Structure 1
Amino acid sequence: MAEIKDPENTILIELEGGTVTVELLPDIAPEHCARMKELARAGAYDGVVFHRVIDGFMAQTGDVKHGAKGGDLRRAGTGGSDLPNLKAEFSKIPHDRGTIGAARAASPDSANSQFFINFSDNHFLNGQYTVYGRVIDGMAHVDAITRGEPPANPDHMVSVKVAADA
């Protein structure tokens, strides 16, 4: 278990295989961190599938509109939340293995609820996608997520909580 230094800025993503602990970076991307905590506290991420998982690249999830149980999983990856999109919060933090990036459409200011976890160092994404967290424990559980675009039987986030509330 990783030591949780700031429970208010730590996210616990429960996968079927175990817990992934994510340290948020509110000093780097305050709006993206606030959005993830808001959606986690609302239970919006619970049951949402990993709809795009590319070996050696990343695992993408967070489509709270289409990616949850009862949603249209064929459309997973095309939606967000009912909240407004976020402006990009680019930084010098590289897209290293285990970092959390904000998924978006073509516009840099179109991130909403979707995010991805980098399987490897993906520095070609630097300066193009907002980094707002990093996995500090449980990366082996991320590595075990079923691959596919979309996976035939996608893994999902059982629950997503702010550590301060757990």
Structure 2
Amino acid sequence: MIRAIAVGLFAATLSGPVLAQDAMPTTPAAPAVSDWRTVSPENLLVIDTNRGRILVEMAPEAAPLHVERMRVLARRAFFDGIVFHRVIDLFMAQTGDPLGNGEGQSPYPDLTAEFTFRRGPETPFTPVAEPAGSMLGFMNSLPIQTQPTALMPTTADGRVHGWGTYCPGVAGMARDDAPTSANSQFFLMRQPYPALDKRYTIWGRVVSGLDVVRAIKTGDLANNGMVPSEPDIMTRVRVAVDLPVEERPVVQVLDTGSVAFRTLADAARQARGADFSICDIDLPVQVSGPPTPAA
């Protein structure tokens, strides 16, 4: 069976803690107007489903090839009508297969893996913690881990390695055993799963609609699991910039360079102590524009 995330890895998660921010909201009080960052419509993927709307901020800084593939497929209406064929509670929801059974893909060539990226001084990055030999923080809305900034002057290209981490809402590309076999199937995380880090390309994060991701009907059409009688579907997927202005959602995320974000991050670290994870920080988001189309 191809393009399915390893089930064996998932089993270990069942005994672990559930999402920390569910029990510990850390939203700052009344951020100022200047504290919000507007997501570029070129990097905003609008996924309409029969359950509701999911908005993903794509991260070309982390995975330019995969982001471009998502743009191309969305612009060709490739994803419209495709089912969520593999959905596991406390794990992820997978889709993007035109066959709906885990064996299909787009007509385009498979992609080169982008498990890590090179972070330079110009890369948008806000650190929130610095464990020994590493840094944790945000690249726009994407939670990442990276080598220390202090190492940049010592490298040939003046950059350091970075990689996204699989917190709730993070969007990754499914693949088979070969690292370069990702194509059109992707998954959206319902809960944190750091064991996937640096093994599956991360290309963005859900900034609105995580409740929709978690509401998608569970079942597995790919591995002879419990199959839903009517799997949930993506009704329409578009890049926001391609929508008419009157249909285009506007998404603002708390700017990680703001004082409000620093207050939020400090509160999360203090509340969690030694158990702190980058996934404990849930970025506030506000969405404006036309109402979500009826499912």
Structure 1: gaps of 5 or more residues: 68-75
For 2:80, the equivalent position in structure 1 comes to 46
| Greater C-alpha radius of gyration | 2
The whole-number CA distance in structure 1 between the counterparts of 2:37 and 2:185 is 26
For 2:211, the equivalent position in structure 1 comes to 140
For 2:241, the equivalent position in structure 1 comes to 164
Cα distance change on mapping 1:62 and 1:4 into 2, 3 Å: farther
Instruction: Identify, as 1 or 2, the structure richer in helix.
Output: 2
Task: Please tell me whether the aligned partners of residues 48 and 156 of structure 1 are also in contact (alpha carbons under 8 angstroms).
Answer: yes
Aligned counterparts, 1:17-36, within 5 A? 17-36=51-70
For 2:48, the equivalent position in structure 1 comes to 14
**RMSD between aligned alpha carbons?**
1.3
User: In structure 2, what residue type is equivalent to 1:21?
Assistant: L
For 1:84, the equivalent position in structure 2 comes to 109
**Identity across aligned pairs (percent)?**
46
User: In structure 2, what residue type is equivalent to 1:82?
Assistant: P
Range 10-19 or range 127-136, more displaced: 10-19
Post-superposition offset of 1:141: 0.8
Post-superposition offset of 1:17: 2.3
Post-superposition offset of 1:26: 0.3
User: In structure 1, what residue type is equivalent to 2:114?
Assistant: E
Superposed CA offset, 1:98-122 (max 9, x none): 0000000100100000000011111
Give secondary structure in 2 for the equivalent of 1:141.
helix
Task: Please tell me whether the aligned partners of residues 4 and 10 of structure 1 are also in contact (alpha carbons under 8 angstroms).
Answer: no
- TM superposition score normalised by structure 1: 0.91
Structure 2: gaps of 5 or more residues: 1-35, 117-162, 222-226, 244-295
Give secondary structure in 2 for the equivalent of 1:63.
coil
Task: Please tell me whether the aligned partners of residues 46 and 237 of structure 2 are also in contact (alpha carbons under 8 angstroms).
Answer: yes
Question: Moved runs in structure 1, 4+ residues, more than 6 A?
Answer: none
User: In structure 2, what residue type is equivalent to 1:88?
Assistant: A
- TM superposition score normalised by structure 2: 0.52
1:109 alignment partner, one of 171, 174, 180? 180
For 2:124, the equivalent position in structure 1 comes to none
User: In structure 1, what residue type is equivalent to 2:217?
Assistant: T
The whole-number CA distance in structure 2 between the counterparts of 1:83 and 1:161 is 18
Give secondary structure in 1 for the equivalent of 2:67.
helix
The whole-number CA distance in structure 1 between the counterparts of 2:217 and 2:51 is 12
For 1:121, the equivalent position in structure 2 comes to 192
Task: Please tell me whether the aligned partners of residues 51 and 232 of structure 2 are also in contact (alpha carbons under 8 angstroms).
Answer: no
Task: Please tell me whether the aligned partners of residues 21 and 138 of structure 1 are also in contact (alpha carbons under 8 angstroms).
Answer: yes
2:167 alignment partner, one of 87, 96, 99? 96
Task: Please tell me whether the aligned partners of residues 59 and 117 of structure 1 are also in contact (alpha carbons under 8 angstroms).
Answer: yes
